Amino acid sequence: MKNTKVNIDNEKLELSSEILRALTHPLRLKIVEFIDSNKRINVNKIYNSLKLEQSITSQHLKILRDAGILETKRTGKYIFYSLNYPRIENSVIAVNNFLAKQVKQTLIEE
């Protein structure tokens, strides 16, 4: 068995795993898809359209914000949500690179 070094950018991988954890909940994924289809939307429209309780919607939006998936912009008394596409894309790239390295490492070991 050949001894090779695998370089993993732990910081990028950790950030990506935080995003993936945030997206693994079916309701949060539904919220993300809804925001994506509307591009920019406030919390009232989200919970009314998806028929959710306001408090539950706010809790899930906080998790998505904390993971960096959502961006917010206040306009008057309303907060509008949009997706942070660059953050999501960077996470997808980091995960894909990690998986490609794992597959390559597995092939080398075989």
| Structural domains in the chain plus CATH codes | 10-101 (1.10.10.10)
Question: Has this prediction a pTM greater than 0.95?
Answer: no
Q: Is the dihedral of CA 15, 17, 22, 23 positive or negative?
A: positive
The one-letter amino acid code at 25 reads H
The 8 Å CB, 24+ separation contacts for 73-80 are: 73/40, 78/42, 78/44, 79/42, 79/43, 80/40, 80/41, 80/42
One digit per residue, pLDDT tens: the chain, 110 residues? 455 555 666 776 677 778 888 888 999 999 999 999 999 999 999 999 999 999 999 999 999 999 999 999 999 999 999 999 998 888 778 777 777 777 666 666 66
**What's the rounded Cα separation, in Å, for the pair 6 and 40?**
40
